[in-house]
Amino acid sequence: MNMFETLREFQRRPRPYERLTTALLWTDEHVSRKMLEFHLDAKSDIASRNHALIEKSVDWMAERFRLGPGSKVCDFGCGPGLYANRLAQKGAQVTGVDFSPRSIGHARGVAARQGLQVSYVCQDYLEFQSRQRFDLIAMIFCDFCALGPEQRRLMLAKFRDLLAPGGALLLDVFSPRLLAGMGEKCGYKYFPQGGFWAAGEHHVFRKACKYEAEMIFLDRYLILEEGRTREIFNWLQCFSPESLAGELAENGLAVAERYANVAGQAYDPAASEFAVVAQCRS
């Protein structure tokens, strides 16, 4: 495909979840290094919540779910262990799952230096299996919203099967308020000295698409380097409380509580995201 055809294809409006490229974002050698830098920036909300909010979240989670010695927790999409290691400090037995080798390597290093017993699994969490049953399963930073419909069904069925009797799922998602504030656009930028997407000279085309009926937003990137061309499809599914409850119910889970975030703050219908605690339906 020549450059004209490549750019014409890039301008085409894809069908929702026509292509999924999550692995390209999180496992690329250069991009994963930049993402880890964002994770570890205590004041940044780009790759993780800022660390002050993470501390509040862990304190609330430990109190709300009575986490301590004997409690089993699984953090899906754990990244560099910002929640998992802190939960282990509370005495919980924690498993962290993420498919970024760089993030998992950092998490393991911190756990080792602090003497924490955390089981880190470097694997696509869609493929994760365990004989353990967990008192708390967490998927934080709206990771659930990046998954396609089939992936979400697989994920929720996995959560249901991995929960211990009486166990809980903690999940945060984007709301329609986020979608309302986003618009369609197209842009281009040249990076002669390198940037987020590549260490060396590269070109980045960006196209944003909004699917109002489906409550989906797409950030699509075309990255051109000398000798390499990549496309990234960053899908974001937004949920109303009703639509999220419906997906959970279809997979044997029921919403028990609703919050503004995973720090347990009061639910705000005008906010751009919300969190739920769900349990297996009786």
How does pLDDT run across 190-208, given as a tens digit for each residue? 999 999 999 999 999 999 9
Model pLDDT, residue 25: 76
CATH T-level topology, domain 47-173+240-280: Rossmann fold (3.40.50)
Model pLDDT, residue 126: 96
Residue 211: strand, helix, or coil = strand
Per-residue pLDDT for 141 more than 90?
yes
- 88-118: per-residue pLDDT in tens? 999 999 999 999 999 999 999 999 999 998 9
- Residue ranges of the domains in the chain? 3-31+178-236, 47-173+240-280
Count the alpha carbons within 13 Å of 12 in the hemisphere toward its beta carbon: 11
- 85-95: per-residue pLDDT in tens? 999 999 999 99
- Higher-confidence residue: 25 or 193? 193
Q: State how far the Cα of 250 lies from the Cα of 261, in Å rounded to an integer.
A: 23
Angle at 253 between CA 157 and CA 53, to 5 degrees: 95
Is the separation of the CB atoms in 31 and 196 below 8 Å? yes
Per-residue pLDDT for 43 more than 90?
yes
Per-residue pLDDT for 24 more than 90?
no
Q: State how far the Cα of 221 lies from the Cα of 21, in Å rounded to an integer.
A: 11
Per-residue pLDDT for 269 more than 90?
yes
What is the residue-averaged pLDDT of the chain? Answer: 96
Angle at 267 between CA 275 and CA 255, to 5 degrees: 50
Q: State how far the Cα of 279 lies from the Cα of 165, in Å rounded to an integer.
A: 9
Model pLDDT, residue 266: 98
